Structure 1
Amino acid sequence: MVRQRVWAAGPQEKQIRRLRVTVAIISDIHDNVWNLRSVLAAAGTADVLVCCGDLCAPFMVARLAEGFGSRPIHVVFGNNDGDLYRITGVAAGFGNVHLHGELFSDQLDGRAFVVTHYDTVAATIDRGAAEVICYGHNHQYALERRDGCWLINPGAVMGYTPAGNREIAVSFVLYDTRTNEAHGWQVGHGNRCGEAAPLPGPADSDP
């Protein structure tokens, strides 16, 4: 399969559809370099990485960039990304890392993406204007299809939720731009590093 590097599409590129692009979607790393290593290994065939925020320390930008190779990475900021000055400085050293503030809205391989950290913000986004809405923040994996739009919370790379003060599955989502399909994956919990097990499919699917 021939893969091409795909960035957020420019004005002339938005009408061009590639053969296929796989987008890996992650969120809420919270400095857990070990879980991030497993997730990036399991998502190794993806062409583009989207991070929905809460990397936390600036050095996590380097871990993302080095772990995903030279392929494009799109990042929005979360409420725990406090040192934005140094995060921006680290990202400047990697040409494939693109920081988008608190909202990313553009096309990836002809598919309209909107990415935010907050579930409350995601709930207000016009689903008629987007094909894929990605968010995180609440550390709750969710894969839904509403009004022809994907609503994707990939869960927390951290593997922990403050709700109930407990460990949760370390998860991520892979989205296929050609088929418009999304699938959740879990690492850890008996899987070796770089291996992933499927998570439940979309809830409230459109007919």
Structure 2
Amino acid sequence: MRIAILSDIHDNLWNLEVAMDAIEGCDAMICCGDLCSPFVVDELARFRGDIHLVFGNNDADLFRITAKAAKLPAFHIHGEFFEAQLAGKRVAANHFDLIARPVAKSGNFELVCFGHNHEFEISRDGGCLLINPGPIMGARFSGGKRVDVTPTFVVYDTVTAEPEVFGVNPGRTGVVRMERVLGV
């Protein structure tokens, strides 16, 4: 199973559209929050597999996001925390690193995903792979100032247990496979 992992969209439909084209062959998606507006659900709905969403701190209109997603049978909203078995892997997701890190350390999961800080990260804590796919938005904030970064997302293969990192090309002309992350 190939699982697309996205986070921190912040209404950037242009970068999201490019990412959605690239993950077309994936079997499931985990979205770690901060869609921001309900209209983002419409773009996510193009995905043909199950979508697992946790809310972030900037998902202000939870009612309308939930109402839109409820009309889509493959769209699963999990509130602030998601845990499941996906293709035999114990998986958890939430928006915040302050929650995700202790969850990864618990030893109860093989994959824990998070977002929030807009900083791409793949690390290992014991037997758990910890993934922040980075922001689809394409920016982070440092010292109160906006810093442009490459919009990134991750595809995790449950068979090989390897993540692949993808970045949206400047000009939104597709994606580029970033350095393959092995042995983390």
Question: Does the C-alpha gap of structure 1 residues 200 and 142 become closer, same or farther in structure 2, counting only changes over 3 Å?
Answer: farther
Which residue of 1 is the match for residue 63 of structure 2?
85
Native 8 Å contact 2:162 2:182 kept in 1: no
Question: Does the C-alpha gap of structure 1 residues 136 and 62 become closer, same or farther in structure 2, counting only changes over 3 Å?
Answer: same
Distance in 2 (CA, whole Å) between partners of 1:63 and 1:190 is 19
* Structure 1 residue identity aligned to 2:14: W
Native 8 Å contact 1:143 1:184 kept in 2: no
Deviation track 1:154-178 (CA, whole Å, cap 9, x = no partner) reads: 0000001112411101100011111
Which residue of 1 is the match for residue 115 of structure 2?
136
Q: Is 1:188 aligned to 2:169, yes or no?
A: yes
Alignment root-mean-square deviation, CA:
1.5
Which residue of 2 is the match for residue 95 of structure 1?
73
Q: Is 1:119 aligned to 2:97, yes or no?
A: yes
* Structure 1 residue identity aligned to 2:168: V
How many residue pairs get matched?
Answer: 181
Residue from 13, 28, 34 that aligns with 1:33 = 13
Which residue of 2 is the match for residue 4 of structure 1?
none
Residue from 79, 83, 108 that aligns with 1:105 = 83
2:45 match: secondary structure: helix
Q: Is 1:155 aligned to 2:134, yes or no?
A: yes
1:40 match: secondary structure: helix
Distance in 1 (CA, whole Å) between partners of 2:178 and 2:44 is 23
Deviation track 1:12-62 (CA, whole Å, cap 9, x = no partner) reads: xxxxxxxxx000000000000000001111222111111000000011111
| Higher relative strand content | 2
Following superposition, which runs of at least 4 residues in structure 1 exceed 3 angstroms of deviation?
Answer: none
Give the TM-score normalised by the residue count of structure 2.
0.93
Structure 2 gap ranges (5+): none
